[in-house]
Chain A
Amino acid sequence: MSRLPLMALLPLLWVSLGAASAGAGDLDAVMSLLAAHRHARVDFVEQHFLAVLKRPVESFGIMTYDAPGRLEKRTVEPRIESLVLDGGTLTIERGGHTRTVDLASHPQILPFVESLRATLAGDRAALERAFRVEFAGTVARWTLTLTPDDPGIARTVARVRIEGSRDDLLTVEILEVDGDRSLMTLRDHQGS
């Protein structure tokens, strides 16, 4: 064994220690702020940076959240599609067909939906059930880094990073192990 793995671990260790000491209280503060926020409606723009693509592709739509368990993501462009997470089931409506998926039997979807739902709900326990949670920054400007615990999920999803300010989410970035990533930017809903 070379010394490389150990060396590589050092900065990680430092980051996590630092995060823990800096943010334990702030994480709880942000979580309770989020938990108090019962309803949200935001516009989103999502960009995918994928290896098969020469340039990133973009979609946008509206996301609605109702505490504690309902999250709806309605994409308007480039094609109409809706994802509704309600409790443990995810309903996907696309091209006139509806598909219902049970999260428990499809854990690979967890990082894509549960990360967002649990954060919006301020449900620290739920987050920590599925991810290793790291908090950085302050209540006014924070970053949550979620790393999947499940080795099966960790094979594809490297991490989810959520940036926010107080009880608002600003960006959600999902990074895959193969380098593909998506970046979702949220802002208050305009219009209706």
Chain B
Amino acid sequence: MSRRRTFVIGAWLGAVALAALIAVDARYLTDLSAFLPEHPTPAQRLLIDQLRTGPGSRLLLVALQGGDARARAGVSIGMARRLRADPEFSRVENGEELAAERDRAFLFEHRYLLSEAVTPEHFSVVGLRAALSDTVADLASPGGLALAPLAARDPTGEMLRIVDRLSRLRRPRTEDGVWVSADGARTLLVAETAAEGSDTDADERAIAAIRAAFDAARRESPGSAALDLVMSGPGVFAVDSRARIERAVVRLSIASSALVIAVLLAAYRSPAALLLGLLPVATGALAGVAAVARGFGAVHGITLGFGITLIGEAVDYSIYFFIQSMRGAPAAEPGVAPWERRLWPTLRLGMLTSVCGFSTLLAAGFPGLAQLGAYSISGLLAAAAVTRFVLPELVPRGFAVRDLGPAGARIERRLGAVRRAGSAALWTGALALACLALIVLFRARAGLWARELSSLSPIPMAAQKLYERLRGDLGAPDSLDLVVVTGDTQEAVLRGAERAAGALEPLIDRHVIGGFDSPANYLPSLAVQAARRASLPPPDVLGPDLERAARGLALDAGRLTPFLSDVEAARRSSLLTERDLQGTSLAAGLHALMLRQSGRWSALLPLYAPAGAAPRIDLARVGAALAAAGAGDARLVDLKRESDALYAAYLHEALRASLAGLLAIVVLLALALRSLTRAAHVLAPLGLAVLVVAAALALCKVPLTLLHLVGMLLIVAVGSNYALFFDARQAGDGQSALTLASLCLANLCTVIAFGLLCLSQVPVLEALGTTVAPGAFLALLFAALLTPRAGRGAGVERHA
């Protein structure tokens, strides 16, 4: 006995120490990847790259609001000056014309490589004459005086063409020298962090730097006291959701632990029992973290949030153990034989039922759910093992908790009053309730499930809306339609982008699209640059041709020698590479539209919706145009549809997994209870609880997400314990009052743990809480009312 005790406790302490070591050493992730798939399709990969490390993920969108426009502009300029000096940021833009002079000089110097008009025909006598005539007309126009200085060097108007093309891309409105929203109410600034988009610590520093710059700039700008700083962007989301998840995990864990402890203390009236009772939960939580850390390499913060759910179920085990096994245990009676014989099989079956349910999550296609499964399974196994083997060894001789028999008897009497209606009446009522719930669900079927990936996001809806608004203010593409060209080299994808652009260009005139951007706008492919350079004629050809072309025009060919020498310089120049763009805003434009992931390059060509009538782009026509132009390597990606398809796939998978889990539970129960009827009696109250909760959520217009589904699985997992105990009681164990008392206490703890999740500001945790808290309560109530009673109901249920 003593050796066994030493062994058991030693083994347990060893396991706890090992788990603690693993948990301390584990890597914890707080980014959004818990809900992104592990094996994405190419389009999904792009989406994920965009979300996690894409150029967009490094952007912090800043808006100043309140006060007057001039004060906002002053603060914007002051902030930008400070942030540009900060190495945390690779780029800060607020509409100030800082890079403009450098940009203009760069564009002008390289105009013959950058202008799409440069072809051999353009430099023939006919082409030159047409271009020169245009320039004369330009010079006659009101802006002519400003153009005149350029005309001698650029009489074919390449610079104007390039500037025109670039200025066609949407930019925010400028007022008082800085960007403002279309309605002028907000002053805008964009900062790009130097660190990777997935570096949440760097994001946090960047956000702090922006706040500090705002405060400092405000101090030196008079009349700026009324100004407000608003920030959004993936970095802000990452920092916010990390903080929110941490806060939720820490605060809610503490709060639910405290409440559960208070409840248990009130019930047991014994601090020793309380401490012992928490051992299974604590061991389970540690084991869960360790298992996830070992199995997945890293633990998602949100998994720890889900871990609270473990408190809800694992604490039940010790409650059952203490209340039911300790009942009147005479000090003299050695060992825990009755507990092992009577209670443990039921508890074990309940635990196995839960494990069955959770095991289906293990196969889930994204880590958030799989980790929840692994965490729960290992946690429950550990907690049950500690309850079964360790607790009996630790309980001191003569230890007893308060007898909850009288309390149980009181509840029993209350229930009895309802039960007197008769089993048939109760079952009819249950059936009616189920039908009602089904009708509600059927009527709400169209909007029953959330269809968008964003519903899984730990980012609150208001923050997502703010992001959309700021993006709109900044003139970001309002649709999420992209043409993507993927290839092995930057040159290959730039050429692909140019081919795609050739197909897209005509669609602008036909109002299929409003416009598009392309990395090749900023850096043409080497092939295109080389072709343009090759179409520039040598001086002995260009000189006489120019003479002939200008004949009869107002332009004086004799004054165009600067043009001749510029063309000659361009003919001898080297082609532009990414490096040459450094220091100009073109580099930012290029980087925003080029992705490099594991050796593959992608060029992104965002499409703008046409102005006016059609708000959505007719993607079929865009796809047809791309195919017709032989731009076969260009793929049309609708990010919104792609992300929603991703979510639909999750949902589908989760539904299938849940059904499989349910089936596994049915089989397990039928085998263990050796009766389909008994299994049905155990499952009926749980099914009813799930239906009623789903119907209630539908009535409250809460679109159901994956997490609600997981919550329903949890209702079955937790509720199966209740139903099994009622079933066991019916099958011959007469301690009804005590069983009922322990179940009510366990249920109270579960409802507390999950009920607190409703208060968390992390939408996914909230969804879990709102499903399980009422569901667990209903499961107990229905199980208590519907389980046939020994000797009273029709005898057919007795098979054991």
Selected from B137, B174, B175, B559, the residue in CB contact (under 8 A) with A78 is: B137
A79 at the interface (CB under 8 A from B): yes
A140 at the interface (CB under 8 A from B): no
Q: A161–B137 Cα gap in the complex (Å)?
A: 24
Q: A52-B555, A105-B95 are in contact. Are A79 and B146 (CB under 8 A)?
A: no
B139 at the interface (CB under 8 A from A): yes
Question: Which one of A12-20, A31-39, A124-132, A173-181 is at the B interface?
Answer: A173-181
Selected from A57, A83, A112, A181, the residue in CB contact (under 8 A) with B554 is: A57
Contact between B140 and A104, CB atoms less than 8 A apart: no
Selected from A48, A81, A112, the residue in CB contact (under 8 A) with B139 is: A48
Q: A88–B70 Cα gap in the complex (Å)?
A: 12
Q: A43–B689 Cα gap in the complex (Å)?
A: 82
Contact between A112 and B145, CB atoms less than 8 A apart: yes
A58 at the interface (CB under 8 A from B): yes
Q: A113–B167 Cα gap in the complex (Å)?
A: 21
Which residues of chain A are near B144, meaning CB under 8 Å? 48, 50, 57, 59, 182
Q: A156–B140 Cα gap in the complex (Å)?
A: 18
Contact between A81 and B141, CB atoms less than 8 A apart: yes
A73 at the interface (CB under 8 A from B): yes
Name A79's closest neighbour in chain B (CB-CB). Answer: B137
Contact between B554 and A88, CB atoms less than 8 A apart: no
Q: Which of B147-187 contact A (CB under 8 A)?
A: 148-149, 151-152, 155, 164, 167-168, 173-178
Which residues of chain B are near A59, meaning CB under 8 Å? 140-142, 144
Contact between A78 and B140, CB atoms less than 8 A apart: yes
Q: A73-B142, A102-B175, A112-B145 are in contact. Are A55 and B95 (CB under 8 A)?
A: no
Q: A52-B560, A88-B175 are in contact. Are A174 and B140 (CB under 8 A)?
A: no
B556 at the interface (CB under 8 A from A): yes
Selected from A52, A53, A104, A182, the residue in CB contact (under 8 A) with B176 is: A104
Contact between B176 and A57, CB atoms less than 8 A apart: no
State how many angstroms separate the Cβ of B468 from the closest Cβ of chain A: 23
Chain B contact residues (Cβ within 8 angstroms of A): what range?
A: 20 to 34
Q: A97–B140 Cα gap in the complex (Å)?
A: 19
Which residues of chain B are near A94, meaning CB under 8 Å? 141
Q: A75–B143 Cα gap in the complex (Å)?
A: 11
Which residues of chain A are near B137, meaning CB under 8 Å? 78-79
Q: Considering residues B141, B143, B148, which has the most beta carbons from chain A within 10 angstroms of its beta carbon?
A: B141
Name B133's closest neighbour in chain A (CB-CB). Answer: A78
Contact between A48 and B555, CB atoms less than 8 A apart: no
Q: A104–B168 Cα gap in the complex (Å)?
A: 21
Q: A55-B554, A97-B168, A99-B167 are in contact. Are A104 and B177 (CB under 8 A)?
A: yes
Q: A101–B152 Cα gap in the complex (Å)?
A: 25
Contact between B554 and A54, CB atoms less than 8 A apart: yes
Selected from A48, A89, A109, the residue in CB contact (under 8 A) with B148 is: A48
Contact between A53 and B146, CB atoms less than 8 A apart: no
Q: A46–B142 Cα gap in the complex (Å)?
A: 8
Selected from B139, B141, B167, the residue in CB contact (under 8 A) with A53 is: B139
Q: A97-B164, A99-B167 are in contact. Are A54 and B145 (CB under 8 A)?
A: no
Contact between B148 and A50, CB atoms less than 8 A apart: yes
Contact between A112 and B151, CB atoms less than 8 A apart: no
A3 at the interface (CB under 8 A from B): no
Q: A50–B142 Cα gap in the complex (Å)?
A: 13
State how many angstroms separate the Cβ of B104 from the closest Cβ of chain A: 12
Contact between A75 and B559, CB atoms less than 8 A apart: no
Q: Considering residues B148, B149, B178, which has the most beta carbons from chain A within 10 angstroms of its beta carbon?
A: B148
Which residues of chain A are near B139, meaning CB under 8 Å? 48, 50, 52-53, 57
Which residues of chain A are near B204, meaning CB under 8 Å? none
Contact with A along B487-498 (1 / 0, CB 8 A): 000000000000
Which residues of chain B are near A53, meaning CB under 8 Å? 136, 139, 554-556
B201 at the interface (CB under 8 A from A): no
Name A74's closest neighbour in chain B (CB-CB). Answer: B142
B97 at the interface (CB under 8 A from A): yes
Which residues of chain B are near A99, meaning CB under 8 Å? 167
Q: A100–B555 Cα gap in the complex (Å)?
A: 29
Q: A58–B152 Cα gap in the complex (Å)?
A: 19
Contact between B145 and A48, CB atoms less than 8 A apart: yes
Name A50's closest neighbour in chain B (CB-CB). Answer: B148
B403 at the interface (CB under 8 A from A): no
Q: A78–B149 Cα gap in the complex (Å)?
A: 20
Selected from A54, A56, A97, the residue in CB contact (under 8 A) with B556 is: A54
Contact between B145 and A52, CB atoms less than 8 A apart: no
Selected from A57, A81, A102, the residue in CB contact (under 8 A) with B136 is: A57
Selected from A55, A92, A174, the residue in CB contact (under 8 A) with B145 is: A174
Contact between B151 and A50, CB atoms less than 8 A apart: yes
Selected from B149, B155, B164, B556, the residue in CB contact (under 8 A) with A178 is: B149
B86 at the interface (CB under 8 A from A): no
Contact between B555 and A105, CB atoms less than 8 A apart: no
Which residues of chain A are near B554, meaning CB under 8 Å? 53-57
Contact between B174 and A105, CB atoms less than 8 A apart: yes
B96 at the interface (CB under 8 A from A): yes
State how many angstroms separate the Cβ of A133 from the closest Cβ of chain B: 21
State how many angstroms separate the Cβ of A81 from the closest Cβ of chain B: 5
Q: A56–B143 Cα gap in the complex (Å)?
A: 15
State how many angstroms separate the Cβ of B332 from the closest Cβ of chain A: 94
Name B150's closest neighbour in chain A (CB-CB). Answer: A52
A51 at the interface (CB under 8 A from B): yes
Q: A58–B151 Cα gap in the complex (Å)?
A: 16
Which residues of chain A are near B95, meaning CB under 8 Å? 105
Contact between B141 and A112, CB atoms less than 8 A apart: no
Which residues of chain A are near B145, meaning CB under 8 Å? 48, 50, 112, 174, 176, 180-182
Contact between A54 and B142, CB atoms less than 8 A apart: no
Name A48's closest neighbour in chain B (CB-CB). Answer: B144
Q: A48-B139, A176-B145 are in contact. Are A104 and B151 (CB under 8 A)?
A: no
Which residues of chain A are near B164, meaning CB under 8 Å? 95, 97
Which residues of chain B are near A75, meaning CB under 8 Å? 141-142
Which residues of chain B are near A52, meaning CB under 8 Å? 139, 148, 151-152, 155, 555-556, 559-560
Contact between A105 and B177, CB atoms less than 8 A apart: yes
Contact between A102 and B177, CB atoms less than 8 A apart: yes
Q: A83–B173 Cα gap in the complex (Å)?
A: 17
Selected from B140, B152, B559, B560, the residue in CB contact (under 8 A) with A57 is: B140
Q: A95–B151 Cα gap in the complex (Å)?
A: 19
Q: A81–B142 Cα gap in the complex (Å)?
A: 9
State how many angstroms separate the Cβ of A66 from the closest Cβ of chain B: 18
State how many angstroms separate the Cβ of B162 from the closest Cβ of chain A: 13
Which residues of chain B are near A109, meaning CB under 8 Å? 146
Which residues of chain B are near A56, meaning CB under 8 Å? 554
Q: A100–B149 Cα gap in the complex (Å)?
A: 22
State how many angstroms separate the Cβ of B654 from the closest Cβ of chain A: 49
Q: Which of A57-108 contact B (CB under 8 A)?
A: 57-59, 73, 75, 78-79, 81, 83, 88-89, 92, 94-95, 97, 99-102, 104-106, 108
Q: A187–B144 Cα gap in the complex (Å)?
A: 21
Contact with A along B540-568 (1 / 0, CB 8 A): 00000000000000111001100000000
Q: A180–B139 Cα gap in the complex (Å)?
A: 11
State how many angstroms separate the Cβ of A151 from the closest Cβ of chain B: 16
Q: Which of B85-119 contact A (CB under 8 A)?
A: 95-97
6 contacts between A and B (CB under 8 A): A48-B139, A59-B140, A102-B173, A105-B177, A106-B97, A112-B143
The 9 A-B pairs at the shortest CB distance, nearest first, are namely: A102-B174, A57-B140, A59-B140, A105-B177, A78-B137, A104-B177, A54-B556, A50-B148, A52-B151
B: residues with CB less than 8 A from A are 95-97, 136-137, 139-146, 148-149, 151-152, 155, 164, 167-168, 173-178, 554-556, 559-560
Given contacts A52-B151, A89-B173, 20 further A-B contacts (CB under 8 A): A50-B151, A51-B152, A51-B559, A52-B559, A53-B136, A53-B139, A54-B554, A54-B556, A56-B554, A78-B140, A89-B174, A97-B168, A102-B176, A104-B176, A106-B97, A112-B146, A180-B145, A181-B145, A182-B144, A182-B145
A: residues with CB less than 8 A from B are 46, 48, 50-59, 73, 75, 78-79, 81, 83, 88-89, 92, 94-95, 97, 99-102, 104-106, 108-109, 112, 156, 174, 176, 178, 180-182
